[in-house]
Amino acid sequence: MAQKLSSTPARELDKFIEDNLLPDTRFCDEVRAAMDIMCKFLKEKCFRDASHDVSISKVVKGGSLGKGNNLNGRSDAELVVFVNNLSSFEDHLKRWAEFIQEIKKQLRKLQRENTIQLEFIIKSEQWPNSLAHNFRLRSPDLDQEMECDVLLACDVLGKPVRAPAHPSM
């Protein structure tokens, strides 16, 4: 950091934060746009062939980018994929690796389509039985990158069902 926080006058703290701590807004906007594309793509493409009896109910953005508390060089983004049509949580655990592989396959397809403006770098498979899929989004123009994870979640509640009121009500 060009200027130390301890020597920054109080009236200049906002400027210090903007210059030294906050990530480039253009980069964050590009990452958000890429994550939106991924959310839509995963929801539309994952588990669509006949061999899968599950579907994605929703994809939720998280991580520091999703929460809005990202810092320059210290930010991450997450996509939490909610899978439904499973009979139990145990079924979800047994099929975890299958679901992660399907997500990886679909993200590789998306990578080949070149619809994302940032460099989309899928990490090597160091941990084949990982509970998440990791990749990076990088902007060579801005010389910034962000670590990203795709995580699985079990949609245990499913769609809300309105039960009729009890007759005594």
Question: Going by C-beta distance under 8 Å and a sequence separation of 6 or more, which residues neighbour residue 139?
Answer: 27, 30, 118, 119, 145
Tell me, what DSSP letter sits at residue 117?
S
Q: pLDDT at position 35, please?
A: 92
Beta partners for residue 146, in sequence order: 137
User: Tens of pLDDT along 63-76?
Assistant: 888 777 777 777 88
* Gap between the Cα atoms of 163 and 169, Å rounded: 13
Q: pLDDT at position 62, please?
A: 87
- Terminal-residue alpha carbon distance, the chain: 64
Domains of the chain, first to last: 12-154 (3.30.460.10)
User: Tens of pLDDT along 41-53?
Assistant: 999 888 887 576 7
User: Tens of pLDDT along 57-108?
Assistant: 889 998 888 777 777 777 888 999 988 877 777 887 888 888 888 888 888 8
